[in-house]
Amino acid sequence: MTDNSKSNNGDTSADIGLEPLLQAHIGRKLREFYDSAAREPVPDRFRLLLDQLENGDLEGVEAAGKADRA
């Protein structure tokens, strides 16, 4: 992604000036949560779905979607 370090600065409100450490902590927790979710292996469900899409099997896709929600 593009470098966003510049635009991430300069938006700190004065009234939360006591908390650069808390800000950093929140940033770490947020990335921890997100990265651990993104590290999960891709479930077969999605490989199957992409196969069906590739084969133009939209009926199969809808059936699978219904089954998953049932």
Partner 1 sequence: MNEEISRGLKDQLLAEIPSLRAFALSLAGIADRADDLVQDTLVKAWANADSFTRGTNMRAWLFTIMRNTFFSQYRKARREVQDVDGEAAARLVAMPDQMSHLDFTDFKAELDLLPADQREALVLIGASGFSYEEAAEICGVAVGTIKSRVNRARRRLIERLALQTDEQAVDTPNSTKA
Residues that bind partner 1 (CB under 8 A): 1-4, 7-8, 11, 13, 15-16, 18-19, 22-23, 25-27, 29-35, 37-40, 42-43, 45-47, 49-50, 53-54, 61, 65, 68-69
Smallest separation (angstroms) from partner 1 to the CB of 14: 9
SS3 content of the chain, % helix, strand, coil (to 5): 70, 0, 30
Smallest separation (angstroms) from partner 1 to the CB of 28: 10
Ramachandran angles phi, psi of 55, nearest 5°: -85, 0
